[in-house]
Structure 1
Amino acid sequence: MTDSHFNDLRGTLTDANTLLLQRQLPGSIERVWSYLTDSDLRRRWLASGTMPLHAGASFELVWRNDDLSGSSAERPDGFPEESRATCQFIDVDPPRRMRYIWPGVGEVCIELEPRGDGVMLTLTHSQLIGERLILNVCAGWHAHLALLTAHLEGRRPPSLWSTWARLRQEYEEQLCASGQ
């Protein structure tokens, strides 16, 4: 079992445009890697799409967040039922690291490190521009990683949209309090 308090901690902005989130996950590094790279497993917590695992490869992520939520009625105004992004790998080092460009949203790096009987996941999302994008990305990654953690622990995942809405408000309060 993972430390649930640790996994509830908010991400931090390491500078004005870089989010850092860490999660201690149960299982082997290969198991966690499969949840990052296998479309069927990844769609259960984030987005589907085949990933050719080599530098320079393009891949599409397809989000259907209503499927990860209690009801489509939870979807915030302004968000579509489905969204897509074509990303490109900068580098991939299975099963330890992937780094890719998400056009218009920044650069994402996910690193895995065996730690004890589990895995430390470190997510760094850089090149975030604008308060709205920063808040949406902070809440989005936090909420999606809550679903990943639940799946890996064998628990029922929380509703994505209701978790996202709560977290977005919390991140907004945190960022306003810190003056960022």
Structure 2
Amino acid sequence: MDPVFKALADPTRRLLLDRLREHNGQTLGDLCGRLDMARQSATQHLDVLVRAGLVTVVRRGRERLHYLNPAPIHEIEERWISEFDKPRLQAISAIKNQAEEYAMTTETVPSYVYVTYIRASAEQVWQALTDADLTARYWGHANVSDWQPGSTWEHQRVDGSGAVDVVGRVVKAEPPTRLVITFEDSPDADREPSVVTFLAEPHQDIVRLTVTHENLPDREMLNGISSGWPAVLANLKSLLETGDVLPQAPWEMTSAHA
């Protein structure tokens, strides 16, 4: 936690985080323009935030896009806040969020980015993302597809009902490092589907897995995936590193404390 607290101690770095919270996925030029800051200064501050895990960089062609990574803040909340005064703080947060949503009803919904590190190979991570039996173990749903670009995929329940909760199509498949899919949890809704990108970057005995969820329709979905993705990816990480999923489904714990 030391690098995280060090990064948060500087007001300029907190301002950079605020700007990314308002509009996620900005280039260095975007951030410098909004903050009237020299590129060298912004780069130095962003490097500190990246080393602390508070910001992650996603390459998009020649661009380097900067995204907030909520994982370190979530760890701080779990370690120092949730066990002490969570109910009262949740009530205060709910009032604050309601006021902000009322005042910013036209605000663009930001993209969601989550980064985790897994002791596994990129091939193992790819298999975990695309094998129906493995996804059924750590996700509670089987992700079914041939995973070829243009093909459809389904997020099927494993309770014997055969029900499908999410559908989409495969936009890009570059095994074992990149998978891009559309994600439609309400396919009958008159809106463009959101898009999920899985990027597995191997480094010796580990893989950095970055999950980017873009084109979100509203804050309700943002709030839902902000709880859902960390739970699913924690279960995936446990399965690959220990051979078994977590003893309890982590998304059930999330809903129990909502």
Same-fold call, TM cutoff 0.5? yes
- Which structure carries more relative contact order (alpha carbon 8 Å, separation 6+)? 1
Structural mapping, 1:30-49, within 5 Å? 30-46=123-139, 47-49=141-143
Q: CA deviation at 1:8?
A: 5.3
- Alignment of 1:121 with 2:206, yes or no, is no
- Write the letter of the residue equivalent to 2:110: N
| Number of residue pairs the alignment of both structures matches | 147
- Alignment of 1:95 with 2:176, yes or no, is yes
Aligned to 1:29: 122
Kept in 1, the 8 Å contact 2:197–2:212? The answer is yes
- Structure with more strand by fraction: 1
Which runs of 5 or more residues in structure 2 are unaligned?
Answer: 1-52, 54-69, 76-107, 187-192
Kept in 1, the 8 Å contact 2:180–2:197? The answer is yes
Q: Computing the radius of gyration over CA atoms, which structure comes out larger, 1 or 2?
A: 2
- Alignment of 1:150 with 2:244, yes or no, is no
CA distance in 2, matches of 1:150, 1:156: 5
- Structure with more helix by fraction: 2
Q: CA deviation at 1:30?
A: 0.8
Q: CA deviation at 1:153?
A: 1.7
Aligned in 2, Cα 1:108/1:115: closer, same or farther, shift over 3 Å?
Answer: same
Q: CA deviation at 1:32?
A: 1.2
- Percent identity among equivalent residues? 24
Aligned in 2, Cα 1:63/1:22: closer, same or farther, shift over 3 Å?
Answer: farther
CA distance in 1, matches of 2:215, 2:209: 20
User: TM-score normalised to the size of structure 2?
Assistant: 0.50
Determine helix, strand or coil for the equivalent of 1:55.
coil
Determine helix, strand or coil for the equivalent of 2:148.
coil
Kept in 1, the 8 Å contact 2:172–2:179? The answer is yes
- Alignment of 1:50 with 2:144, yes or no, is yes
CA distance in 2, matches of 1:163, 1:25: 22
CA distance in 2, matches of 1:162, 1:49: 20
- Write the letter of the residue equivalent to 1:87: G
CA distance in 2, matches of 1:91, 1:60: 16
- For the aligned residues, what is the CA RMSD? 2.9
Aligned to 1:112: 200
Kept in 1, the 8 Å contact 2:147–2:153? The answer is no
Q: CA deviation at 1:120?
A: 0.6
